[in-house]
Structures are given as structure tokens and as C-alpha cells.
Structure 1
């Protein structure tokens, strides 16, 4: 599914090679039958915004949006596990899944980096498997898309496209309510407190984190964090 490759590139840190491939990427979007016309137009507008720009300027804008807080982190498991040791085992499981499909990471990124995950999906021989894995990640991806929509960012088009491909999660209204009601991302203001309180990250918490587990058909089942469940329960009980 070449569309996953295109979405991966659009969501990655901007590079000159990506800007040079915009026309080819636009053709893939135009020919993707699974995408609605409004979604295609939004993706085309995002791609068009890169024409004639200064690369350093778009790189600076990208960093300001995705790398200066946690609300829009592109690391999937950060939204599920934070920096807890559970994230370490989830990383191991995801890495094992990559390797079992012959997908070797030639990157300094962690396995749960979303553009990397989309690149992996683009290389799967089974369309059904790719869409199933994407569906499992949609609670997190829908939250990212909702937050981008709240900010009026054109990058929301990427997450709308993923929803077109995989479908929205059952708790989508709860997710949108959360994105609309939460305050500013104050991660940078409290970064010292966060590092003091949280567990050490990926594979640094002792040998139990690295113990191999029985391989399962889908090692990256991604469930919403407790706040999703709490909000959903409140909405169901009218409170």
C-alpha cells in the first residue's frame, strides 16, 4: 500500500528528498481509491504548502509542532504508557514483529515512531494485516488527529486519511471531547519534575523488561489510556 509510504514521508521531519518527490506522492494520493475526496483535497493542500518553501523554515515549524511537548508526540506508546517500564516491553514486542517480517530498522528512531510504523505497514505483503495493525493504533492516532484539528494544523489531513483507511475507533467522540477540553501542553514547563517522577525509559529498568514473551499474532494492541475509559464512562452515565 503505497499510500502508507506517502503518509509516512509527509509526517516525517522534512527533508529535501521529500520535497523533490511531492509530485509522485500527489499521484499516489490521487489514485488511492480508499480515500474520500475531501480527504484527498486536504492531503493535496498539505503537499501544496511545501512548494516553493525554504527547507529550514518548514523544518523549524515541524520541530515546533511535534517536538516541543507530549500532546503531539509521534511516538505511539508514549500516549499509552508514558515512560513506564510497560513501554519498554511494548517496544520489544513491536521490534520483534518488525524483525519477524524481515523489516530491519535503519534508523535512530524508536520502534513506535509513527512514520517508521507507517513505513513498516507500507511493506507488508498482506493488505488485511496492515489495516488490522493500523486499526489497533487508531485510538492513539485519532487523539493526535483531534489535537491537530484543534490547532488548525494541516497535518490533521494525514490522520484523517488514516481514519479513512482503518475506520474510526468506537470511542471517537470521547477522544474529540478530550482534545477540545484539555489545556495547553505544559510539558516543557515541568520537564524537570517529569524526569524526577517517571521511570527510566526503554529497556533500562532491569532484566525483567527484556524477558522474551511468547509471540502473539498482534503484539501491538494499543488501548486508550485510563482517561479515555473514564471519559467514556462519564458520557455513558450522563456526567
Structure 2
């Protein structure tokens, strides 16, 4: 593992990866471990509190139904980072290929769990367990995506918004005040079927027209 990044960020990223994933018995069993690990750092557990409580106190089938409703049906809270920058454009295929290239570049076999490689829980787990520096570069590059997901969750009063904020708090710079500020930060309007936000770092991902 790349030693860059501190232990608190690794724990935050891994806990966020799990809490943003489809809930199953294994995830529920991990709740005490997440509580203990987050509890090592002052304030680290607060953003996860409501989600962890729900994992412990809610019937598993109900949890799974809620997850599908909020994250799988529709795009309001899409957890695929390049959706927010590239929409459903042809360019997105190149972007997804670039994510796979980043993973392969670490000589690590990344299990995509049948998901696209820009799936946020996957990127977070990569950062936490494989290469913190490269993982953080990807997250910083897709900061507008993280912020837009967060604002969507806030709008629907979902507790996962606090987890997205915890992720953003590990990255340089303050979070924008609202969605319009996110667009100004990125320099573009919202994603559409034909236009997306240009990625920040041309060294990692292709630019428009590439």
C-alpha cells in the first residue's frame, strides 16, 4: 500500500465505501468494527452516525429496498463519478477505460463487483487499501461529482449526505455553498446527454474531443 495519507482518511474512505454500498449481512456485521475504528479520532464517527444506526436497527430487506430506491432507480443520487461529468456521452467510455488503467497501474487486481470502475465505493476502497495518493487524486479530480451527489442527498434529506461531506473534507479547499457554486467551480453547466464537465486533470482522463 502507498503510505501517503493518514490513518484517519483511510478509515473514513473505507467506512464511506461500505456505507455507500448495497447493504448485506456482511455490511451489517461490520458496523461494530466501523464504530470502533472511527471512534479512534475525534469527530470522525459523527457523519456516519445515522447510517450506522439504521444498519443496526432496520430489517435487512427494508435496508436493501431503501438502497435500491435511493441509489439504483434513477440518477438523482448516482454514485458513478463520471456520470456527473460526462453524462451518457460516448466520451464516457474513454473515461471508464482510464479508471481501469489507473487501477491496473498499481499492479493490483481490483474487483469491480460487476460495477463500472468509476463507482464511488470502489474508488474509495482503492484509495483506502491500495494507493491513497492516486485515489485522492481521482477524488479531487471528481470533486464536482462528489459535491453534486452530496447536494442531491441533502435535498432529499438522506443521511448519506454527511458521509459525502466527510469525503470532501479530506480534499483540498472548502466545499461550494450550493450547486450553482459547484458549476462555477468546474466551469460548466449541469451534465446532459450530450455535454459533460471536462475532467480536471488531463494526465489521467481524456479531455473533450480527445
8 Å contact kept, 1:3–1:32: no
Cα distance in 2 between the residues matched to 1:4 and 1:110: 19
Is 2:13 the partner of 1:4? yes
Deviations 1:35-76 (A, max 9, x none): xx2x63231222112113211100000111111111211111
TM-score (norm 2): 0.77
Unaligned stretches of 5+ residues in structure 2: 1-9, 184-191, 195-200
Is 2:27 the partner of 1:18? yes
Is 2:37 the partner of 1:41? no
The CA deviation at 1:32 is 4.0
Unaligned stretches of 5+ residues in structure 1: 180-193, 199-215, 224-239
Is 2:184 the partner of 1:175? no
How many pairs align?
184
What RMSD, in angstroms, separates the aligned Cα atoms of the two structures?
2.8
Alpha carbons of structure 1 residues 13 and 174: separation in structure 2 relative to 1, 3 Å? same
Cα distance in 2 between the residues matched to 1:53 and 1:162: 25
Q: Which residue of 1 aligns with 2:6?
A: none
Larger Rg: 1
Comparing both structures, which one devotes a greater share of its residues to helix? 1
SS of residue in 1 equivalent to 2:78: coil
Deviations 1:182-234 (A, max 9, x none): xxxxxxxxxxxx9xx87xxxxxxxxxxxxxxxxx99514899xxxxxxxxxxx
The CA deviation at 1:102 is 2.3
The CA deviation at 1:168 is 4.8
Alpha carbons of structure 1 residues 222 and 11: separation in structure 2 relative to 1, 3 Å? farther
